[in-house]
């Protein structure tokens, strides 16, 4: 049958009586070739379908990625997306994708991925070795059970984190050395729990100014002292705003001392010392009524 497969036969002027043999030989050779990877007519198909496992990817002995179709001439285009290439240098199966430029992407081992996911113990502990994360799992496959990051300290930017390394001071860190591997705690914040603060400019410098609020009832006489509990209050307090309830007004309401004179039934002043805020010269319209105090102070 080799003769019938040769493209130079039949030759010109071949006798017509010899042509049937040539034609039958060509059919037989064609069938023999196609049947190696294609279904024959019948068995629920129309013939020509690929047999299972008949697809063969590019198989190159070098790491050079294919740039042409299997004919070796036609350049690969986006229409070729999905073609396969087995890189014999890296022993990886790759697929051609066309999201943006054409590129060959590695196809991971499906079996290894499924095995790892099906056995990974998410409750397992994570331990850190010298230069890698070791994932503790319950019977996970060896493949991908260890993530080698080659230099963990470089990846996270620090060498160690000492849980007990806490700098507790009123001075905020100002240099990299003061910040390295440390946690900063302003110990003044913890002593003033409940007092809010804001950064404001005081004499040209940015300063934390805290605010404290106090409420209560004035004594039934001309003066009341309210303990503010601010250390060195006379020098640390920046301002005190006080108001008191005037029950002689219509309607009765809280008023500040600047609204009224310093004498008579509708008067009072607000002052402070190291330890107290004072309501002084309290007129009869305020005595025994409620008060409200707002204190701005620094530490």
**So where are the chain's domains?**
2-29, 61-67+78-106, 121-156, 160-191, 196-297
**Residue ranges of the chain with pLDDT lower than 70?**
1-5, 42-45, 61-63, 108-195, 258-263
pTM score over 0.95: no
d(CA 58, CA 245): 91
Tokens 């440390």 locate to 182
- At 194 the pLDDT is 54
The 10s digit of each residue's pLDDT in 258-277 is 555 556 788 899 999 999 99
The 10s digit of each residue's pLDDT in 152-164 is 444 444 444 444 4
The 10s digit of each residue's pLDDT in 127-150 is 444 444 444 444 433 333 444 444
Which of 167, 165, 134 has the alpha carbon at shortest distance from 152? 134
Q: The domain 196-297 is classified under which CATH number: 3.30.70, 1.10.150, 3.40.50, 2.60.40? A: 2.60.40
């Amino acid at each position: 049958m080799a003769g019938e497969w040769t493209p130079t036969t039949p030759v010109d002027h071949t006798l017509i009586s010899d042509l049937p043999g040539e034609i039958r030989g060509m059919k037989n050779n064609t069938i023999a070739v196609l049947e190696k990877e294609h279904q024959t007519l019948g068995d629920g198909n129309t013939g020509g379908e690929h047999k299972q496992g008949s697809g063969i990817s590019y198989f190159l002995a070098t790491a050079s990625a294919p740039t042409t179709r299997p004919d070796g001439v036609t350049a690969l285009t986006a229409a070729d997306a999905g073609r396969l290439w087995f890189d014999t240098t890296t022993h990886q199966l790759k697929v051609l994708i066309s999201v943006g430029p054409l590129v060959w992407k590695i196809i991971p081992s499906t079996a290894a991925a499924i095995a790892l996911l099906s056995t990974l113990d998410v409750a397992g502990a994570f331990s850190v070795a010298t230069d890698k994360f070791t994932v503790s799992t319950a019977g996970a496959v060896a493949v991908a059970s260890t993530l080698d990051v080659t230099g963990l300290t470089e990846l996270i930017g620090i060498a160690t984190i000492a849980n007990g390394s806490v700098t507790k001071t009123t001075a905020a860190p100002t240099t990299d050395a003061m910040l390295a591997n440390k946690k900063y705690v302003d110990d003044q914040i913890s002593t003033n729990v409940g007092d809010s603060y804001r950064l404001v400019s005081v004499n040209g410098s940015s300063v934390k100014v805290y605010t404290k609020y106090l409420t209560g009832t004035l004594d039934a006489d001309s003066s009341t002292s309210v303990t503010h509990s601010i250390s060195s209050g006379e020098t640390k307090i920046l301002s005190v705003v006080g108001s008191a309830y005037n029950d002689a007004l219509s309607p009765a309401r809280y008023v500040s001392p600047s609204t009224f004179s310093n004498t008579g039934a509708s008067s009072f002043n607000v002052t402070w010392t190291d330890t107290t805020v004072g309501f002084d010269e309290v007129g009869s319209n305020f005595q025994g009524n409620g008060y409200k105090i707002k204190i701005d102070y620094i530490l």
